[in-house]
Structure formats: structure tokens, C-alpha cells
Structure 1
Amino acid sequence: MLVALPSAIAFGVTIYSVLGAQYGAQGAVAGILGTVALGLLAPLFGGTNRLISAPCAPAAAVLGAFAIDHMSRGGSPELGLLLLALMGLMAGGLQLLMGALSLGRLIKYMPYPVVSGYLSGVGMIIIASQLPRFLGLPKGTGFWGALGSPEMWRWQGMVVGGATIAVMLTAPKITKKVPAPVLGLAAGIATYLTLGLADPALLTLEGNKFVVGALGGGEGGGLIEAFSDRWNALGQLGFNALRDLVLPALTLAVLLSIDTLKTCVVLDALTRTRHDSNRELLGQGLGNLAAAALGGVPGAGTMGATLVNMSSGATTKLSGLVEGIAALIAFVLLANLISWVPVASLSGILLVIGVRMIDWHSLGFLKHRATVLDFAVIAAVIACALTISLIVASGVGVVLAVLLFIREQVHGSVVRAIVSGDQTFSKRVRVQAERDILTEKGGQTAIVELQGSLFFGTTSQLYHALEADLKRRKYLILDMRRVQAVDITAAHMLDQIKDMLGERGGMLIFSRIPKHVPSGKDMEDYFDQVGLVRSSHKVRAFAELNEAMEWVEDQLIAEAALAHNDEIPLELFEIELFAARKRETLAELEVQMEKRHVAAGEVIFSIGDHGDELYLIRKGSVRIVLPVGQGQIHHLATFGRGAFFGEMAFLDGEARSANAVAFSDVDLYVLSRQQFDAFTDSHKKIALNMMEGLASVLAARLRYTNAELRALQA
């Protein structure tokens, strides 16, 4: 309370003094009432432990700027009082709406340059508004006018304000038990009373412009009179006045919410807790509604008071409630003392707050080329806040931050890798003749791995990256696994690529289209809605990249006239491993083999099984998969017609190292090691040739794997 209350009084005096010097006392009351209302209601309904809510600098800046604008247009002080209260009510209501719509998490993601520039702008506005008060100049004197009129400076105010600032800055170095604003305010009051010994006029409360003035009476100072002024101003309220409140109220609601949630995030980090953003917005909204209804200044969860509260040993939301009760007690018991608070002392407190609000760290962004544009956003927000309005500053900042984001996305590559189809192959293990075809014809295929966001800003970059491949490739496989977003512009460009490939008899192929992207969009459904993957001979989509590559390889092999009738089982002499061997000898070997049929989906062997059989595929295909836990499997390879598998256990006699599952109905030749060894006693040459064939095929597979690894590294 001791940290929050002096600042709240200063903020209130700053806002209300714009309406007339006689309203300064009412401003002090408004600051206290805002502290009480927020302290009593925000902790009860918000529920963030240790959080202290009170009037804050953003509220003072927005309300003060609105009051200045209102008076400059010839508005009456009474209507100004009513409009300030209505703005507080609207801001509190908007915060309730934000909480009800679960917008709390979104507000936390306001770009840092915007927040930095906005708070720095608010700090500078506070400095500009308080310097004339610090110098003791008449109402209406601006910042530059104050600097250019040293003959009008009042030394009494400067001495009091200087003493306040000096104590505020030096007190933390001496003691942290008593908050610096309290010591600074005490020093200001003591200095003022000391000056009063030499000038008795300073010790007179009535008509004294150096102090806040009587809180319970005097022109514009009483609570009853304040409510009466607002009630009488209802007759001056019109549609135009209410319309002019909407944007400032929205700005105020957003700023107060950002200030609160920023404090909550810091509190979470320090205490290893987690606050409920939406619930806290509801609590803050109720607190600000109550503050405005009482004629108080709205506020937010404040960083300084919250950190003092935490370091003092607070652990629950009860501490926030105690702060509100303590502020109410202080108002009742210390009203007479508050009347003697020097305006220059409050200005000194606000000048220190304003200087501390400026993000001096952001100047470091000028040292690095990568962050210069971020500093430009901060500078633009500050310039708009100082020259136009805080509302415009927030809009400009968000727009510039979005443009910077788009620029970053545009300059980042959306193409992660492009690999030619003659450098990388599917996991289907093929016979040598098919491998030769794929080595020769695989260059007709390009596998493109995309990443990031495909939107209007990166569409041109993507097209230029693919342009060379579109001219010489027949099949273009786009791996979408790392894509996070696709907009209609990118979808239209992909549709044009599909048509370009189709005109040359080619095809666009998608693989691993994300079911859900970070935005929550179902990308598969979106592609179907825009007509990108609907039934067409120009486009296909596969769930896995390997499936897409395997399909393209089958097309290339078919085009090379090597396609075969997969429905007819191979004879032993047609299998690559036994090519050019005598049929008579192979017939004797076939007697030693078991012919086995396995239905699609059945397990042929499992990891850890003991068995030494070699399997030769006569028809169908077999997948080798590796269990990786939690019901997931990793696809290692696919073996098709004419290939063999199980050779590792056949050669070393160890347990199986993976699972073999029939991908389709499979016909097999099965040769156990015992049968093979028995056969070699009388047919040593063919046995030797078979082992040499196994070694040759395995070596060829290894060479292809090495080539793929080199291509991927490149």
C-alpha cells in the first residue's frame, strides 16, 4: 500500500488537474478510491497470488491525454469528469468481455517493440506533463514553453520536487525496508514545511496552489460535489461524446490488460507458479468497474508494488486484499495529511516513474544490424504517441510489427531441401534391373521439402525456387510435413504448378500434408476445399513421403517397359539371386525349400524371434518395421517381388532384429540354414554362388544407401 498509494495520488492529481487547478484535490481522492476498489475486488475475483492492483502510468497517460483533448475542444470540466468515469466503466467492461472470450492469452503476445515503444512513449508523456508542475508554472504551460521560460520558474516547487527525486533515487541504496516513493514523499513534505517556516503563506491551505488541498471540501474537492458534478453533466452528454470514448476506452482496456498480464508473467517466473490470464482479466475488469463507479482512477496489476509485496513475504491473494483495506484506512485517517502533500513532490515521484518507464535497453538495438528495424518500430510508436495520440501509436506499432514479421518470413527460405530422384530412393528394395532404371530415369523426379508458412509473402520465392525443376522434371513431390500455414494465394500458385506439370504429362504429388497446423486449420480439408487435391490425373496425395516416392518409382519402371504381372508368382530361376543358374540344380534346391502363402497383414517374424530362414518373395510385398514404443513403428524397408529378406539371421544365426509383416498377400520360398547346409554337401558350387550373390546384392544396397546419404548432406 505504501508503494502504490503515493503513485496513485500523483496519477489522480495529474489527470484531474487538467480540468482545472481546483480539481487537483478530487484527483487525489480519485487515486485513493481507485486503489481501494482495485485492492478489494481484483484479488477476490482475479485470484493471482501476490498481485497488487492500483492506478498505473498507462491509465494516467490515456486519461490525461483524453482530458487535455476534451478541454482543448472547449468542453466543460463537469462533462470531463463524467467522460473520465464512463471511460473507466467502458474499459472495465471491455476487460470483462476479454476475459469471458478467453482473450487473455492473446494479449500477452503483443509484440515487444510495440509494448516497449508504447511504455516509453507513456513515460515521456508523463515527463512532459510533470515538468511544468515541477517548475511551478501556471496551468496550460507546455513542456517546451516551460523550458523556454526560466523567468517563470518557482524555486520553491523545484526545491521540494528536487528533494523528493533525490531521496527516491538514493533511498534504495541505504534501506529497502521502507519503499522509496514513501521516503521521497516524506522528504518532499518535510522540505515544504521547512520552507513554510520562512514563508508563512506556504502554510495556508486555502488557495495554496503548491499543495493538493482539502480533500473533503473546497471547490471541486468534495466527494458529494464530485458526484453532483457528474450527475449534472448528464444533460451535456451526446452521441458524439460517447462515440469519441470508444477508441480511448479500448486502448485503455488493452493497455491495462497488458500491464497486468506482463506483471503476472514476471510473477510466475519468480515464484514458479502459473496464473489464469482470463480469470485475472475478469477480476481486473470488476475492479475497474467499481473504481470508475466510485469516481476513482482505473488501474492494473503493478510491477513495483507486486515485487515489494512478494519480497515482503506475501504468498496468497489475501495480501492484495489487505492492500485495498490499508488504502481505505489511510484515506480515512490521513486525509488531513494528504491535503498538505506538495504538488511538486508528486511531480517528482512521477518524473522518476516516467524516466524508469522508458526502455533504455532498446537503445542497444542500434548497435546491431539485425535489430535496427526493431528499434525503428519502437521509435515510430514513441513518435506517434508524442505527436498524434496513444491510440494511433498502438495501431502504427502493431502494423509495423506485422510488416517486420512478414519481412522476416519472406527472407527466410520456405524450401528446406531439393533432392533429385536419382540420388535418393524409396524404402522399397528392388532388383538390380529396376535399380538401374531408377538411376537412369530418376532425374525426372524432384523431392522438395518445404517449411514454414506458404502465404502471399513467400509465394514468389517458392515459385522461383521451383522454376528450374518445373522445366525439366516430370514428377514433383512436395513434402509438406514442416509447413505451418498455407493461404489462398499459395494454394492458387500450387494449382498453377499442377497445371504446368500436367501440360507436359507430369504430375504434382503431395506427401505428409499436415492434418492440423498451429493455427488449428485442417490442411487436408483445406486443400480439398480449394480444389487442389480433388480427383485429377494431374495431382496425387500420399500420407507418407516413402509412399509417394515408391509410387513415382513404379511409374518410371512401368514407362521403361519393365512392368510385370504381379499376380503371377515367380519361379526360382526368375529370382535375381539365382539368375543364370542351371535349372536342373535349382530344381534340386527348390525341393529343399518350403512354399508358403501369407495373407496381407500377417506377421512373418517378430523382433527377438529365433529363426534362420531366408525368405524369397515370389509374389506381393513385405514390410520390415521396427517398434519404437507407445504403439509406434518405424518403417525400415519394403521388399517386393523377386527380392529376399531375413538374410541377417540366415548368415549369423542371431535373433531377428525387426518385424516382417505382409503388406499384401505374399507367396514365399522359405529356405532354412539347416536345409541349405545339407544341400551344400552335394552342390558346393551353387551354394558358393548363392552366398556370393547375397553379398553382391547387400553390397549394392549399401552403395545406394551411401549415395543417398551424400545427397542428403549436400
Structure 2
Amino acid sequence: MRELSGAWMRHSGDFWGGFAAMLVALPASVAFGVTVYAAIDPHYAAFGALAGVLGAMALGLIAPTFGGTDRLISAPCAPAAAVLSAFAIDLVHQGVSPASIVLMLTVLGILTGIIQILIGFLGVGRLIRFIPYPVVSGYLSGVGLIIIGGQLPKLAGAEGDDRWHQVLFSPERWDWRGLAIGGVTIVAMLLAARATRKIPATIVGIACGALAYAAIAVVDPSLLRLEDNPLVIGSLGATGEGYIGLITDRWNQIGGLRLAQVAGLLSSALTLAVLLSIDTLKTCVVLDRLTRSRHDSDRELAAQGLANIAASAIGGMPGAGTMGATMVNYSSGSKTRISGVVEGLTTVIAALALGAFVAWLPVATLSGVLIVVGLRMIDTDPLRFLESKSTVIDFCVVLAVVACALTIGLIAASAVGVILSIMLFLREQVGGTVVRRKSFVGERSSAWYRPEHEMRILEKKGHSAVIFELQGSLFFGTAQQLYRTLEPELAATDYMILDLQRVQSVDVTAAHMLNQVRDALAERNVPLLLSNVRERLPNGRNLREFLELAGLRSGERTAFYLPTLEAAIEWVEARLLGDRPSAEADDPPPLELHEIELFKGSKPDTLVDLEACLEKRSWKAGETIFSCGDPGNDLFLIRKGEVKVVGSVGRGGAIKHIATYGRGDFLGGQAFLDNRPRGNDAIATRDCDMYVLSLEKFNYLADEHKRIALVLMTKLARLLSIRLRHTNEELTLLQDN
């Protein structure tokens, strides 16, 4: 008993929600079925009512079982009724027999379901994720207003198919009884939502509306009869007699359908599948927004397709995830997809066992329920967009979607919203800049630590080499803007570096523009250097392969690809200096102590005692000179070769190239001064010969040869200060940009 009680407590909201959704979906399903089958022949209207019931049952049981979207209610819907009734009318005009039309409707529904399953398996449903918030908000509000507008004539008790505004301005057509019953329902729902959560507001509203009807019936005996009573739903009008025979007959005839006839149904089936899929996914998106959940679009479409196949196979109406019934289900406290199964089961029970009770439900009560649901669907959050000029246009998108939904249709509203959002996105992309930073090689430095005299040369010549760091998307909307930014440098610079590290995408127009830049520079024999050209962008494209296919091949007409911006700057530095030996040249001889940058200008007799304290050591290319965490007891003076220093970025981060030291330079000075452990790894990239000064030997010098120790410390501090000053200037430049 405790388990049963616990299960009821967990799923009571699903039961009430499914039951309330049935009260909304069942009359609509019957109406849609009658609309389609009455178009074949008026005598088929009763079969249409039962088709609506069977469709609601099959969709309610199968779609939530396999779909997995919580709270979604699937039932026959307006798009299905519109397409199928138009299809039936066209066949009637062609002189097709009613039995054959019913058979064709069955095949059309089955084909629709198959196409939906294919759409789901092909992953097309995932495109719904890219619908922007203003479109969803406008769609939500538009559906809410459509629901309210569609229910106002029923609430007023007006007969006919006039629109809400026609009824609103014709008080003589109002029925005060319907207005009273609907008003009681609306007030009861609004108050119940504040007073209690144990009983769903929808159930309270329906109960109060039914009691109001009973109270009015006491003084108006005409309300005590079911026939010709416009204030109640009335008899479902279908007992099922002869329907099974009709289904059996048409399935016996299915073998008589020619392949050409089936192929002729494909266009209509595709149209219906697209409409039903959009209707379902739109409802799912609205549910996601209300419940802060995330549905599986592809799985849901496959489940809807399976449900439509089953519904059509038993003679029912196909359908989709419907907004009205789903919102009633949500408002009534449902939590899981069990509510959808409950809706399917109670549909059968209501149609077969409780038909008399359902027949007495007041139409104005159901209208009142849907009006409250419509009011709650109107999204007022976009009103905040009016508080800032930057978001006013986004508010206009919401208004455009709402206006289109009210005047044209929901599908057109979705298309208009998506198109407007794309235009807004393009406007933002075109309005922004794709140049993140402009600088010059003289203001920046590569990972190569250079002697002081080389740094002075680079500071002087470096403004002849320009660097553009790009960002965002390079496409047809930003290509000309970028070209206008680069154009002044095309006739002035001696080197141009384009860094693409932060570029997210490149289209053919932008690639063609880069070719134009390359050609303009090539006329002056100026190289174009492209750095950080990734082989995998966020969109999956290999950027380098794409650019080379577009004609921007490395080495052709002075275009070159470099792995990093530091490597590109180093490439330019080497050519600005003009005297750096290439890797293929013979290694120069090791330097003597007085040729080391640290001791240039020192008197020979000063260095004699110092050289006696130095140890000569060698490393082969690839060997580690010191590792992170090693004691910082040695100062290394490079006589020959190159050393690369690498370290990890953050804790456990990727290994990054920090600096490169060459012939005549020194490394390890900072740890040598503060006597702290090494913070990075030093690896010989070419065979190295070095002088090594240990801390122990330096302390000896400090005791015995104070002048030599002072000279060493002074020169070491000066060079470290120059490096630090240059680093600070570069950091300031990067911050200012």
C-alpha cells in the first residue's frame, strides 16, 4: 500500500495533467476528424469523429512511450486537418470513390510517418536548436494570442465561424450564459493557482465551470437537453458501427493501389511530414523554455512518425505535439511523459465509457481553460528589450514573429523570425571588427632572446613589418571591411603577418580576398605570412587545406604558413637582422669568454680569474640541460648552439614554448639570482657548448675577487633589466590594444 501511495504521490500530477489534456484534445481531435471526413461525404462525418478519437488514442500512447519528451501531448492537429481535407476535396473533384479516398488517406498518413522517421534518423531535427530566443518568444506569444482569439467566440457563445474581432464588436451575438460559465472558469483557475497546488487549477476550473452550468440550468430548463444545445460539447456522433468493416475493406483493397498512385502521394506526404514535424518541435522548444529542460529532437520526430503510422493504420487521424493540450497538461502539474500515456488511455475511456459525461462539458468552460493557458504563454520578458537601444531591434523581431503568426500562420512566423535573426546576426558580424590587434615587429618579440645590439636593430627596423591579429568569422560580410583595413599597409610594409588563431570560420569570398592581398604584396616582392592556420576549426573545416584549395599555397608568390605568431615574428626578425646563420650552414666555432654578450667590453685581465672558475660542458641536440624543479645553482653561458625553454601553462596545462637562447647569450640568470628552483625545462635544440658558473664558484669569487663578482652581478642585472623592460612594454602594448 505504501508503494502504491508513493507512486500516486509521484505521478498524481501526471494523471491530472493527462486527464485535463484529454478534455482539451478530445473535442479538438473529433472536430479535426469530422472536418476531413465530411469533405469526402457528409455521411462520413461520424467516421471522422471516431477517426479523431483513434488518432488521439494512438498518438497519446505511442508518441510519449518512444519519444521521451516530458509533458508533451500528441494528438490530431490543425495542420493535419488542413492538408488532409484539401487532399480529400481534390480527390472528390477528380471523381475518386469515397472508399478509395479513405484508403488514400490511410496510405498518406503512413507515408507521412515514414518520412518523419527518416527525418529523425538523418538528424534533421537537431536544427531546431539553432532557433534564436526572439523567435521562440514570439512564437510562444503568438500561439498564446491565437489560442485566446480562437476561444473568445466560443466563450461568448457566438455561432458560426466569425473571427474574434467580429464577435467582439457584435454584442448582440453574445450569450450571457456562456460568458458567465467561462468567466467563472477563468476566475476559478486564476484563484486556484494561488490557493492550492494539490489540485491542478485546470481541474478546479473545469469543475467550477460545470457547477456554474448546472446552476444556470436550474433557471433555464433548455440547458437540460443535449440535442441542439450549443453550450455543451454534445454527442461524439460515432458509435463505430460499420467502421471496422470499412477499415477491413480498404485494407483488402490496398493491393490494388498502383505504384504510380503511391508515388503521387509523396509530395503531399512530405508537406504534411514537414508541417507536423515543425509543429511538434516548436511545442518541444516552448516546453524546454518553460521547464528549463532539453528534448531530443531526432528521437521525438522518429516517435511521432511511428505514432502517425500506427494511427493511420487503424483508421485514425495523424497529428503532432499540440501546443494547447500540452500547455494544459503542463499547467495541471504534470512532470513526466506518463501524462501523455494517461491522455491516450483516458481518450479511449472518455470516448467509449464516458461519452455521455464528456458530452455535457460546457464549451465555454473549455474555452476559459484555453484562454488562461494562452495568457500564461504570452512571454513578457522581451519588454525589457525596450530599455536599451541595442536590443530594440530584437524586440522588433519578437513583434514581427507575433504579427506574422496572427496574420499569416505559425509556420510562416517561424520562417520570418529565423530570417530576421539571420539578418541581425549578419548585421552584428558586419558591424564588428575582425581585426583584434594591429602591431609591429619592433613592438613585439619572438620567443628568441636576442643580444642587446640585435634588439636595438629590431626596434629600429621593426616598424617595416606589420602584424594583424584577426578574430571572428571571415566571410562575405566582413571581407571588404578587412581589405580596407589592410589596404594602407599593402603599399608601405616590407613584411605582413596575419595571425588566424582566433578566426572561427572562413568562406570562399574571404579566401579570395586573401589571395588579392597576397597578389598586391607580391607585386613589390613582399612576403605574406599566415600564422596559426588551424587544421580543424570549430565547424570541422581544415582551414589550411581550404585556403590552399582556394589558391593560397605556401611558397607560391611570397605566401608562407608559420605554425605560431612567435614563429612568424622570428622569421621576420631573422631577415631584418640579415646575419643569422641558417640551420644548414656549418656551425661557427665556440665563443671565447670575452665574446659572450654578458662580458663584452670587459678588460681581459678581469676575465682571467673568472674563466678559471667556469666549467666547460657540452650537450647533444635533444638533451635536457635542466628540468623544472631542479635547483637554480648554475648560470649557463652559451658558446655554441641553441637552447629552447618550455613550460606548462597553468596546473597540468599544455606544454608551451617560452623562449629560445642562442650563441653568445645566457640562461638561468633569474634562478641563479634568487636561488629558487627552476620553473621550466631547458632543452638543447642544436649541439651546445657552454660555460657553466656554479653558485659555489661564484661565492668563492665574491670572497676572493669582489670586483669580478660585482662586474658579473652588474652586467647580469642590467641584461635582465633590459629583458624585463622590453617585456613590460610589450604587455602594455597588448593591454592598450
TM-score (norm 1): 0.86
Partner of 1:9: 26
Partner of 1:530: 550
After superposition, the Cα gap between the structure-2 partners of 1:375 and 1:63, relative to the gap in structure 1 and judged at 3 Å, is farther
Contact map agreement 1:18 1:67 (CA 8 A) in 2: no
After superposition, the Cα gap between the structure-2 partners of 1:158 and 1:648, relative to the gap in structure 1 and judged at 3 Å, is closer
Partner of 1:697: 719
Give distance in 2, aligned partners of 1:671 and 1:5.
Answer: 89
Contact map agreement 2:281 2:297 (CA 8 A) in 1: no
Partner of 2:67: 46
Question: Within 5 Å, which residues of 2 pair with 1:324-335?
Answer: 324-335=344-355
After superposition, the Cα gap between the structure-2 partners of 1:637 and 1:700, relative to the gap in structure 1 and judged at 3 Å, is same
Partner of 2:517: 497
**367-376 or 274-283: which moved more?**
274-283
Contact map agreement 1:417 1:449 (CA 8 A) in 2: yes
Question: Within 5 Å, which residues of 2 pair with 1:331-346?
Answer: 331-346=351-366
**546-555 or 657-666: which moved more?**
657-666
Contact map agreement 1:61 1:126 (CA 8 A) in 2: no
Partner of 2:137: 116
Q: Which among 555, 562, 565 is matched to residue 542 of structure 1?
A: 562
Aligned residues: 698
One-letter amino acid of the counterpart of residue 145, structure 2: M
One-letter amino acid of the counterpart of residue 643, structure 1: D
Per the alignment, in what secondary structure is the counterpart of residue 53 of structure 1? coil
**Residue 551 (str. 1) matches residue 571 (str. 2):** yes
How large is the RMSD of aligned CA atoms in angstroms? 3.8
Partner of 1:215: 236
After superposition, the Cα gap between the structure-2 partners of 1:156 and 1:684, relative to the gap in structure 1 and judged at 3 Å, is closer
TM-superposed CA distance for 1:554, in Å, is 0.8
Partner of 1:518: 538
Give distance in 2, aligned partners of 1:95 and 1:268.
Answer: 26
**Residue 150 (str. 1) matches residue 171 (str. 2):** yes
After superposition, the Cα gap between the structure-2 partners of 1:579 and 1:445, relative to the gap in structure 1 and judged at 3 Å, is same
Give distance in 1, aligned partners of 2:558 and 2:657.
Answer: 28
Question: Within 5 Å, which residues of 2 pair with 1:462-501?
Answer: 462-501=482-521
Per the alignment, in what secondary structure is the counterpart of residue 451 of structure 1? strand
Question: Within 5 Å, which residues of 2 pair with 1:223-234?
Answer: none
TM-superposed CA distance for 1:17, in Å, is 6.5
Contact map agreement 2:134 2:417 (CA 8 A) in 1: yes
After superposition, the Cα gap between the structure-2 partners of 1:170 and 1:433, relative to the gap in structure 1 and judged at 3 Å, is same
One-letter amino acid of the counterpart of residue 208, structure 2: A
After superposition, the Cα gap between the structure-2 partners of 1:288 and 1:683, relative to the gap in structure 1 and judged at 3 Å, is same
Q: Give per-residue Cα distances to partners, 1:213-258, cap 9 Å, x unaligned.
A: 322548x9996699699999999x9998864564454132122023
Partner of 1:289: 309
TM-superposed CA distance for 1:444, in Å, is 1.4
One-letter amino acid of the counterpart of residue 622, structure 2: G
Give distance in 1, aligned partners of 2:460 and 2:226.
Answer: 100
After superposition, the Cα gap between the structure-2 partners of 1:662 and 1:200, relative to the gap in structure 1 and judged at 3 Å, is same
Partner of 2:664: 642
Contact map agreement 2:201 2:332 (CA 8 A) in 1: no
TM-superposed CA distance for 1:80, in Å, is 9.9
Give distance in 1, aligned partners of 2:500 and 2:620.
Answer: 33
Give distance in 2, aligned partners of 1:239 and 1:149.
Answer: 49
Q: Which among 120, 139, 158 is matched to residue 160 of structure 2?
A: 139
TM-score (norm 2): 0.83
TM-superposed CA distance for 1:148, in Å, is 4.1
Give distance in 1, aligned partners of 2:188 and 2:106.
Answer: 34
After superposition, the Cα gap between the structure-2 partners of 1:121 and 1:650, relative to the gap in structure 1 and judged at 3 Å, is closer
One-letter amino acid of the counterpart of residue 647, structure 1: G
Question: Within 5 Å, which residues of 2 pair with 1:235-634?
Answer: 243=267, 246-260=270-284, 262-263=286-287, 267=291, 269=293, 276-293=296-313, 294-296=315-317, 298-300=319-321, 302-306=326-330, 308-310=332-334, 320-558=340-578, 567-569=587-589, 570-583=591-604, 586=607, 589-610=610-631, 612-628=633-649, 630=652, 632-634=654-656
One-letter amino acid of the counterpart of residue 454, structure 1: L
One-letter amino acid of the counterpart of residue 669, structure 1: Y
**Residue 707 (str. 1) matches residue 729 (str. 2):** yes
Contact map agreement 2:498 2:530 (CA 8 A) in 1: yes
TM-superposed CA distance for 1:98, in Å, is 3.1
Contiguous gaps of at least 5 residues in structure 1: none
After superposition, the Cα gap between the structure-2 partners of 1:571 and 1:304, relative to the gap in structure 1 and judged at 3 Å, is farther
**412-421 or 288-297: which moved more?**
288-297
TM-superposed CA distance for 1:483, in Å, is 1.3
Q: Give per-residue Cα distances to partners, 1:412-468, cap 9 Å, x unaligned.
A: 222222222222211211111100111101111222222211111111222233333
After superposition, the Cα gap between the structure-2 partners of 1:656 and 1:170, relative to the gap in structure 1 and judged at 3 Å, is closer
After superposition, the Cα gap between the structure-2 partners of 1:417 and 1:229, relative to the gap in structure 1 and judged at 3 Å, is farther
After superposition, the Cα gap between the structure-2 partners of 1:688 and 1:641, relative to the gap in structure 1 and judged at 3 Å, is same
Give distance in 2, aligned partners of 1:159 and 1:16.
Answer: 30
Contact map agreement 2:73 2:340 (CA 8 A) in 1: no
Give distance in 2, aligned partners of 1:680 and 1:135.
Answer: 104
Give distance in 1, aligned partners of 2:549 and 2:637.
Answer: 45
TM-superposed CA distance for 1:525, in Å, is 2.2
Contiguous gaps of at least 5 residues in structure 2: 1-17
Q: Which among 154, 161, 165 is matched to residue 182 of structure 2?
A: 161
One-letter amino acid of the counterpart of residue 493, structure 1: M
Give distance in 2, aligned partners of 1:653 and 1:345.
Answer: 85
Contact map agreement 1:17 1:27 (CA 8 A) in 2: yes
One-letter amino acid of the counterpart of residue 73, structure 2: A
Give distance in 2, aligned partners of 1:196 and 1:454.
Answer: 72
Give distance in 1, aligned partners of 2:604 and 2:681.
Answer: 33
Partner of 1:100: 121
How much identity, in percent, do the aligned residues show? 44
Question: Within 5 Å, which residues of 2 pair with 1:9-48?
Answer: 9-12=26-29, 15=32, 32-47=53-68
Q: Which among 59, 62, 82 is matched to residue 79 of structure 2?
A: 62
**656-665 or 75-84: which moved more?**
75-84
Partner of 2:693: 671
**Residue 184 (str. 1) matches residue 205 (str. 2):** yes
Give distance in 1, aligned partners of 2:653 and 2:543.
Answer: 25
One-letter amino acid of the counterpart of residue 7, structure 1: V
One-letter amino acid of the counterpart of residue 29, structure 2: G
One-letter amino acid of the counterpart of residue 4, structure 1: A
Give distance in 1, aligned partners of 2:572 and 2:374.
Answer: 66
TM-superposed CA distance for 1:639, in Å, is 0.8
One-letter amino acid of the counterpart of residue 287, structure 2: T
Give distance in 1, aligned partners of 2:82 and 2:513.
Answer: 48
**357-366 or 641-650: which moved more?**
357-366
Give distance in 1, aligned partners of 2:385 and 2:130.
Answer: 20
Per the alignment, in what secondary structure is the counterpart of residue 197 of structure 2? coil
After superposition, the Cα gap between the structure-2 partners of 1:262 and 1:117, relative to the gap in structure 1 and judged at 3 Å, is closer
**648-657 or 676-685: which moved more?**
676-685
Q: Give per-residue Cα distances to partners, 1:278-337, cap 9 Å, x unaligned.
A: 3343333323433444424623283552564556xx6xx556545533443333321111
Give distance in 2, aligned partners of 1:476 and 1:637.
Answer: 23
**161-170 or 408-417: which moved more?**
161-170
TM-superposed CA distance for 1:369, in Å, is 1.8
After superposition, the Cα gap between the structure-2 partners of 1:197 and 1:80, relative to the gap in structure 1 and judged at 3 Å, is farther
Give distance in 1, aligned partners of 2:143 and 2:32.
Answer: 13
After superposition, the Cα gap between the structure-2 partners of 1:74 and 1:290, relative to the gap in structure 1 and judged at 3 Å, is closer
